[in-house]
Amino acid sequence: MKRIYFDHAATTPLDPRVLETMMPYLTEQFGNPSSILIEEGGIPHRAVGEARAHVAALIGASPDEIVFTASATESNNLAVKGLALANRQKGNRILFSDIEHYSITNQADFLTGMGFEIDYIRVDTNGLINLDDLRKKASEGTILACIMYANLEIGTIQPLKEAALILKERGIILHSDGAGACGTIPVYVNDLGIDTMTLSSHQFYGPKGIAALYIRKGVRLKPIIQGGYQEMGYRPGTENVPAIVGFGETSRLAMEEMGTRLEHLKTLSGRLWTGIDASIDFLHFTGHPTQRLPGHVSFWIEFVEGESLLMWLNLNGIASSSGSACASNLMAIDETGLKASHVLTAIGVPPEICHGSIAFSLGKNSTMEEVELVLSILPGIVTKLREMSPLYSKFKETQKGGM
Amino acid sequence: MPQGPYSDKVMDHFMNPRNMGEIEDANAVGEVGNPACGDVMRLYMKIENGVIVDAKFKTFGCGAAIASSSMTTELIKGKTVDEALKLSNEAVAEALGGLPPAKQHCSVLAEDAVKAALEDYKKKQGA
């Protein structure tokens, strides 16, 4: 069966043009970029430099503000722990928005154990951070705030610029997890006024195992692993040259093609959105209706459980993702790992209802034909699952009784 | 076709649930819910002379919950009330070729649904 991949929020396929640029560094150009005085090292060294320039250009930064890491999770850890440790003398309060990724939120225990105090910034029902709450919580002794740029579960894009202004006048550092945004939508760090930002290569057609942290010049940050002098000492360890080269190329392509990709994604997701809205009742879209990632359509459906819906879509050749508790952590060692998504509960979706949540995330290679196919398949699955649901039959009875 | 952590049997019962629906003249109905994940299972039985002659279910839940419900109806059909009361969640999970650890509670839900339905039956008999 030909697959329809509508799960680009999880990861994207590697662009063949990107792979091509990586190949020499997986084969003949194997040298260590630190061995700069020998030919074997010189070529990879230059390639890393060029890639750094492409990644920097993608977000309007300068190359010496880019540090390569092995994952967005690592970048988020380097940022939060590194900034916290380097700025300790200024205070011990750290703010996380309520809808951060686990690679931010799960640092809370560690940081609390080190004497830091974590507070949370509320979001509204569309997933936008509450700026008044930010003003209130950005109090004396606060050194850092973490606000992601785009949320991959509900698609909402945060008003980072406004948040940055509030934080700047109080001398608070702003870290933004840009894994879901960079390479997909235009991101200009200087215009936004952020201090550090995470970028992830595999979120936009680059290889996995490579990410970056943008660190604005002058921002104090301590490395969290110790070793040699690679990445200006911020991130020691021999560079993953082929992945870095691929990250560079995918950044270059993203810049070059961003306009066309955005237009394409907006057309497709617009059709998907209106089609779903017209064909399924008791359906609720999640995230902000306009301030959202192009190509991202997320919703929950009453009387339909998310994992079952996801599995049926999959059996029909459609890949999607679900924020349902049951689908979120299927490999957990026991049921305590099953929790409704903290993002959905933060925007006010009742936990027992979070189970019906689904996100379709389209990519540059998605087609209108695929969108139409999904629109023709989804309603049938919803009907089938509702027929099985005791909640739905009860609801129908009360409807009848009420009329 | 196994899918992720689910066995062939789980997938079979998920894709082709046995005995899905309601029994109009059921004399035993049990509904249980799992607060951990919001699943709801409703089990209908038709019991004649102490024997479960028919069983059907309706379930709102994940793949494991649907498969557990389906398998349970198969396991209890033809059984006496006393035999059905002895049905354990392990037996349901085993009949499905095993469930992932995080999904064991779905088989517990099935066992609880059987017990709830039989309690309902006994209550109705007593009345």
Q: Is pLDDT at A28 greater than 50 in this prediction?
A: yes
Q: Return the pLDDT at B38.
A: 77
Annotation says B37 is catalytic? yes
CB-based burial, A74-105: b 16+ in 10 Å, e otherwise? bbbbbbbbbbbbbbeeebbbbbbbbbbbebbb
A383 touches chain B (CB under 8 A): no
Which residues does chain B have within 8 Å of residue A337's beta carbon, measured at their own beta carbons? 102
Q: Which of B20, B60, B105 sits opposite A303 (nearest CB)?
A: B60
Q: Mean pLDDT throughout B47-59?
A: 97
Which residues does chain B have within 8 Å of residue A331's beta carbon, measured at their own beta carbons? 5, 100, 102
Interface contact B102-A335, CB threshold 8 A? yes
% of chain B exceeding 70 in pLDDT:
94
Q: A166: closest CA among A189, A194, A186, A187?
A: A194
Considering the candidates B93, B99, B106, B118, report the single residue annotated as catalytic.
Answer: B106
Mean pLDDT for chain A?
94
Q: Mean pLDDT throughout A177-204?
A: 98
- Cα A104 from Cα A96, distance rounded (Å): 8
B104 touches chain A (CB under 8 A): yes
Residue A90 DSSP label = G
- Cα A180 from Cα A157, distance rounded (Å): 9
Which residues does chain A have within 8 Å of residue B44's beta carbon, measured at their own beta carbons? none
Interface contact A326-B62, CB threshold 8 A? yes
Q: B44: closest CA among B23, B25, B59, B18?
A: B23
- Cα A103 from Cα A145, distance rounded (Å): 14
- Token duo for residue A203: 């979120």
Q: B110: closest CA among B5, B24, B17, B2?
A: B17
Q: Mean pLDDT throughout A78-93?
A: 98
Range of weakest confidence among A316-330, A361-375, B18-32: A316-330
Interface contact B60-A393, CB threshold 8 A? no
Is the CA virtual torsion A398, A399, A400, A402 positive or negative? Answer: positive
pLDDT band with cut points at 50, 70 and 90 for residue A330: low
Beta bridge partners, B45, equal: B28, B55
Q: Which residue has the tokens 């192009």?
A: A294
- Token duo for residue A107: 């640092």
- Cα of B42 to nearest chain A Cα, Å: 6
Quote ipTM for the complex: 0.91
For an interface test with B, give the residue of A303, A310, A326 to mutate (most B CBs within 10 A): A326
Q: Mean pLDDT throughout A267-279?
A: 98
**For chain B, domain boundaries:** 8-126
Q: Return the pLDDT at A248.
A: 98
Q: Return the pLDDT at B119.
A: 97
pLDDT band with cut points at 50, 70 and 90 for residue A335: low
Interface contact B15-A315, CB threshold 8 A? yes
Q: Which residue has the tokens 């509320």?
A: A122
| Domain A16-254, classified CATH 3.40.640.10, yes or no | yes
**For chain A, domain boundaries:** 4-9+258-390, 16-254
B126 touches chain A (CB under 8 A): no
Q: CA gyration radius for chain B?
A: 14
Residue A292 DSSP label = B
% of chain A exceeding 90 in pLDDT:
86
Strand locations in A223-277 (E): none
- Torsions phi, psi of A177, nearest 5? -80, 105
- Cα B82 from Cα B90, distance rounded (Å): 17
Is the CA virtual torsion A381, A384, A390, A391 positive or negative? Answer: positive
Q: Return the pLDDT at B1.
A: 52
- Cα A177 from Cα A166, distance rounded (Å): 18
Residue A182 DSSP label = B
| Domain B8-126, classified CATH 3.40.50.620, yes or no | no
Interface contact A332-B101, CB threshold 8 A? yes
Q: Return the pLDDT at B115.
A: 97
Q: A211: closest CA among A249, A243, A188, A255?
A: A243
Annotation says B62 is catalytic? no
Contact by Cβ (8 Å): A358, A299: yes
Instruction: Decide which of 1.10.3720.10, 3.90.1150.10, 1.10.3370.10, 3.40.50.1100 is the CATH code for A4-9+258-390.
Output: 3.90.1150.10
Task: Give the full edge-to-edge strand order of the sheet including A117-121.
Answer: A66-69, A211-215, A196-200, A173-177, A142-146, A93-97, A117-121
Interface contact A330-B4, CB threshold 8 A? yes
Q: Mean pLDDT throughout A219-229?
A: 96
H helix runs in A28-183, sequence order: 39-58, 72-86, 102-105, 108-113, 131-137, 160-168
DSSP string, A140-166: TTEEEEE--SB-TTT-BBP-HHHHHHH
pLDDT band with cut points at 50, 70 and 90 for residue A195: very high
- Torsions phi, psi of B83, nearest 5? -65, -40
Which residues does chain B have within 8 Å of residue A330's beta carbon, measured at their own beta carbons? 4-5, 100, 102-103
- Cα A243 from Cα A23, distance rounded (Å): 10
- Cα–Cα distances (Å) from A7 to A3, A310, A318, A319, B84, in that order, read 11, 11, 9, 6, 43
Residue A337 DSSP label = G
Q: Return the pLDDT at B126.
A: 84
For an interface test with A, give the residue of B60, B89, B106 to mutate (most A CBs within 10 A): B60
Q: Is pLDDT at A331 greater than 70 in this prediction?
A: no
Which residues does chain A have within 8 Å of residue B65's beta carbon, measured at their own beta carbons? 305, 326
Q: Three-state SS for A364?
A: coil
Q: Is pLDDT at A403 greater than 50 in this prediction?
A: no
Q: Is pLDDT at A328 greater than 60 in this prediction?
A: no
